Amino acid sequence: MKILVTGAAGFIGSNFVYFMLEKHPDYQIVGLDLLTYAGNLKTLKTAMEHPNFTFTKGDIADRDYIFHLFETEKFDIVVNFAAESHVDRSILDPGVFLRTNIIGTQILMDACREYGIERYHQVSTDEVYGDLPLDRPDLFFTEETPLHTSSPYSAAKASADLLVLAYHRTFGLPVSITRCSNNYGPYHFPEKLIPLIISRALADESLPVYGTGENVRDWLYVKDHCEAIDLVIHKGKVGEVYNVGGHNERTNLEVVKAVLHELGKPESLITYVGDRKGHDMRYAIDPTKISNELGWEPTIKFDDGIKMTVQWYLDNREWWEDIINGDYQNYYQTMYSNRS
């Protein structure tokens, strides 16, 4: 079995590579990544030493490159993690999100049709559903929840999802989709909430929290997510969407305080900044379908997962300190300097 993993040098993609190499040591894994700002080849350093892993640098939106790759490698399964994924960046520059997240998805599926793959799997997000009110904790996103996007990022991901389902219905392409809640764990890029708080707290710097910090997210430890995708690509029904949630709802403020507690840092580092445009209030996924059909359940509770995550960042300081360079600092200043 040969699997193409796009976005392999990113956060979830790299974790999936390591998961699959351990779970299926006889599989051949080809990692593809354009190595833009969030793709870090050092993340795959250990994978590079595995005899069944190879890496190729390329753009999923480059049709000639993708078709040549498929012609050469003869993949059985494609798992598409490749995406521009940061909401704030999508507000600053929507165009690149449309190119990668929509056109890139189309080109991958065209190649899948041409070369007859067994399964194309799209990794999506709960953000395509929009948000839920804070005063209705009984409401959850199901696979039947209408798509109602709030940002250029989530709109691009929803568009890709609809395109994937259209390729299944129109062309009979064997597809599946997972929509997950917020992931956390090793190799998370430092601009995202948990690693941002860890890195800044260790430096005793202020910790920016949007609005009042009441926005709620459902947190999923990344290894649980990888397990779910593995189940779906092997046992999930073609043409189906599966929600993958962690049963770990926390406000942003609770998450920040949990990190500070693990690091032994004071809550006085917290600084409240102006809220993000179109900021969704609450995400909460109902994973009943994947549980009933495939037997998947999240195994890592948030309190345990945050301990493991903080420890990983303490043990791997060189990895994230190398990322926090001038370009990242310029981004940080752009996003937060005028929000006081």
Active site residues: 126-127, 153
Q: Which residues, 6+ apart, have CB-to-CB distance to 286 below 8 Å?
A: 140, 141, 142, 243, 245
- Antiparallel, parallel or unpaired: β 216-221 and 249-251: antiparallel
Distance, CA of 280 to CA of 276 (rounded, Å):
9
Query: Residue 293 class from Cβ within 10 Å (0-12 exposed, 13-18 middle, 19+ buried)?
Result: middle
Residue 141 neighbours by CB under 8 Å, 6+ apart: 126, 129, 132, 179, 243, 245, 283, 284, 285, 286
Judged on CB neighbours under 10 Å (0-12, 13-18, 19+), 318 is exposed
- Rounded-to-integer distance, Cα 167 and Cα 171, Å: 5
- Nearest alpha carbon to residue 186 among 315, 98, 77: 315
User: Which residues are 250's β-sheet partners?
Assistant: 217
Distance CA 45, CA 47 (A): 6
